[in-house]
Structure 1
Amino acid sequence: MIFKRFVNILVFLFLLGAGLLTFFLILSGGRQSGTLKNFYWLQADTNGFNSAPATTRWYNYEWCGYDNGQLANCSSKAPAKPFSPRDNFGDSPNLPSSFRDHRKTYYYLSRVGWAMLLIGLFFIAMALVPAFLATFLPFKAVPVLYCVLSWLALFFIVLAACLYTGCYVKARKAFHKGGRPAKLGVKNFAFIWTSVFLMLANAIWSTIFSATHKGRSSCSDHDMYAQYESPSIDTGNQLEKSTYTSGTTDGAGPVAVAPVIGQPQPATAAKGGDGKFFQKLRTRKHSPSADLEPAEDGGLAGPVTAR
């Protein structure tokens, strides 16, 4: 139990780390200064592409010229800014042929990759709550929800990583084929594939944890069974036998029968009613005008005849 709780906390930190890295990737290109300017996807030589800067960096929200460690001549900002040199700078004879012939490939790979990254971040944030509660709460539904959300987050993060990698690796090859230097943004790709690894470890452990978790509902099944369990047949027979053997007659009336569990009980007379009835019966026994007299066996005999 202690080992499982320790691993749960460790994997929760993995999930938290994957969410933090993915959040930094979403913010790539959010600002043109500070640390975020170093989180780019591709940097390449774009000299001669119409009015393009000599060196260009592509981000999630914009592309910018890069010179002497500073960004300049940036495009307008927009969510999921597409990577497509032909759309970014217009057609040019100096543009590598791959960007003209496969324009839609680069365009949609970059845009859909950003959308998948955003959906993956959403599911990571959703998985944080059941991941935290699964460490302390014994309910069965919590680990199952944690497992489902973890696999959904992993699916979209892996999909985003594959789309981004396919898009920009293909673009780097196109620049190199055209005799232009280009390089990938090391931080962005390190972050996204580290997120994949962390989410994979998290998804595997959430599956193991939910499969081996011995949870319970708010009311234990054993307690409910013990509360509503009916007496067995043997117990009922013993109760019936004790009903007829436990009482003795004292001549005052019939023996009181103990109630049997599980059977309807007859309505009883009011307190003191039986005593008054037998008292009247004894009085009539000594009365000469009594029509009835009690028999020796405790019953009632027929009419008394004159002697």
Structure 2
Amino acid sequence: MAKFSTRLFIKLVTLLFFAGNVLLLILTIISGTTQHYPVNRFYWIEADTDGIPNASSLTRWTFWGACDNINDRTVCSDNLAAAYPISPVDNFHTETNVPHKFVSNRDAFYYLSRFSFCFYWIALAFIGVSFILYILSWCSEVILQVIFILMAFGCVFNVCAVILQTAATAMAKRAFKDGDRKATIGAALMGIGWASVVVSIWEFVALAVWFTSDKIRDHYRNNPQSLSEKRHNNFFHRDTEPLDMQGQPVMDAYSPAPPNVASNTATMVNPGAYTAAEGANTSLPIVQEPLTVPAPAAAPPPETNAHRGINFFHIRRTQKQNPDDVSV
């Protein structure tokens, strides 16, 4: 029950963040399109443009173009356009009294602003579609992979749009400062932009965790033996020895004889390797040699010389040998 509640809580928070991200992107895009509060307070930068031809004393650059500041209200004319750059040279069609950096670095201001405009629209498209599909995913998790891919692209374009716009705004403020003109960055619109970045990153991470956990759960649901096999197939696990039909371990050519098997005669394990006969000291290690070592020479025939002492080892050469012929 606790696991289900945690999962539901994460879903609700992610849904709330999706809605917030879409709202933040919409507020950014509509800046400069209306004179009503609070949208009329949204602008990228406000600068002193007094003395520049075709410009007012104070100009605010919004998402759609340059607007006038009249009584702390953003009043935009009819010359608004898409991908409007923060570039007084292009905005007022003159270089007179324009700070020098806007003239020397005109391409940088122009392309940073225009690419940021495009990336904002692409991010809104991906994140908006992801938001709609995320609501439908509560009924069916089949489209979760599609949402994850769409949100990945949306997050990338959202971050790139805000970074490019921030770079253009910061460069514009420095250019006005170097031209002995006052300039102020719009904290409200810039804060909205970076808030959308934080929210989009959260959404992407939440979807990645959700998507990965579902894949792992489906894998173990379809393969119930995988979890137990994963526990046993590790470095410290030792496989059990195979058994023959009688339940005894199967021995290969190099396997030592089991300790519970008693032999009253010498048994050949492999060519060139022999075990000790009954009556020998069982604490001695059994000498084994690889198959490539040639067999030792045949033992000499038993002698009846009593002065040779007692031989504790004997070898059965053939089945026809008299068992009473034991060397002494």
TM-score by length of 1: 0.66
Which residue is equivalent to 2:130?
127
Q: Is the 8 A contact 1:62 1:74 kept in 2?
A: no
> What is the aligned partner in structure 2 of residue 2 from structure 1?
5
Aligned to 1:46: 49
Root-mean-square deviation (Å): 2.2
Structure 1: how far apart are the matches of 2:78 and 2:182?
22
Structure 1 segment 1-307 matched on structure 2, within 5 A: 1-72=4-75, 74=77, 76-137=79-140, 139=141, 141-213=142-214
Closer/same/farther in 2, CA of residues 22 and 73 from structure 1, 3 Å limit: closer
Shift, 1:88, TM fit: 1.2
- Over the matched positions of the two proteins, sequence identity in percent amounts to 29
Three-state SS of the structure 2 residue aligned to 1:64 is strand
Unaligned runs of 5+ in 2: 224-328
Q: Which whole-Å deviations, capped at 9, do the CAs of 1:163-183 have from their partners, x for residues lacking one?
A: 100001100011111111111
Change (3 A) 1:70 1:128: closer
Greater CA drift, 51-60 or 84-93:
84-93
Please name the residue that 2:295 is paired with.
none
1:64 and 1:75 in contact (8 A); partners too: no
Q: Which is bigger in relative contact order (C-alpha 8 A, separation at least 6)?
A: 1
Using the TM superposition, give the Cα deviation of residue 221 of structure 1 relative to its aligned residue in structure 2, in angstroms: 7.2
Q: Counterparts of 2:42 and 2:74 in 1: how far apart (Å)?
A: 12
Classify 1:28/1:112 alpha carbon distance in 2 versus 1 (closer, same or farther; 3 Å): same
Contact kept in structure 2, 1:62 and 1:78, CA below 8 Å:
yes
Q: Which amino acid aligns with 1:57?
A: R
Q: What amino acid does structure 2 have at the position aligned with 1:50?
A: P
Distance 1:92 1:145 in 2: 49
Structure 2: how far apart are the matches of 1:72 and 1:143?
Answer: 44
CA distance in 2, matches of 1:206, 1:71: 39
Of 78-87 and 21-30, deviating more is: 78-87
Query: What stretches of structure 1 move > 6 A for 4+ residues in a row?
Result: none
> How big is each residue's C-alpha offset from its partner over 1:38-67, in whole Å with a ceiling of 9 and x where there is no partner?
111110000111231110001122312213
Residue 293 of structure 1 aligns with which residue? none
Structure 1 residues 124 and 44: CA distance shift in structure 2, 3 A: same
Q: Secondary structure at the residue paired with 1:17? A: helix
Structure 1 CA distance for aligned equivalents of residues 136 and 160 of structure 2: 28
> d(CA) in 2 for partners of 1:205 and 1:65?
42
Q: Corresponding residue for 1:261?
A: none
Q: Distance in 2 between matches of 1:198 and 1:87?
A: 34
Q: What per-residue deviation string (whole Å, max 9, x for no partner) do you get for residues 106-142 of structure 1?
A: 11111110110011000111111332233343x4x32
Contact 1:41 1:58 in 2 (8 A): yes
CA shift, 1:146, in A, is 1.8
Corresponding residue for residue 235 of structure 1: none
Letter in 2 for 1:28: S
Q: Which deviates further from its counterpart, 141-150 or 62-71?
A: 62-71
Q: d(CA) in 2 for partners of 1:71 and 1:204?
A: 37
Alpha-carbon displacement from aligned partner over 1:76-109 (angstroms, at most 9, x marks no partner): 1222222210111233342111100111211111
Report which stretch shifted further, 153-162 or 1-10: 1-10
SS of alignment partner, residue 190 of structure 2: helix
Tell me, in whole angstroms, the C-alpha distance in 2 between the residues paired with 1:64 and 1:192. 20
Give, in whole Å, the separation in 1 of the partners of 2:24 and 2:195.
8
Aligned CA distance change for structure 1 residues 176 and 130 (closer, same or farther; 3 Å): same
DSSP 3-state at the match of 1:135: coil
Count of residues in Structure 1 that have an aligned counterpart in Structure 2: 218
| TM-score, normalising length: structure 2 | 0.62
2: CA distance between counterparts of 1:29 and 1:73? 7
The residue identity in structure 2 corresponding to 1:9 is L
Task: Assess, with a 3 A threshold, how the Cα gap between structure 1 residues 70 and 133 changes in structure 2: closer, same or farther.
Answer: closer
Indicate how the Cα distance of structure 1 residues 59 and 128 shifts in structure 2: closer, same or farther if over 3 A, else same: same
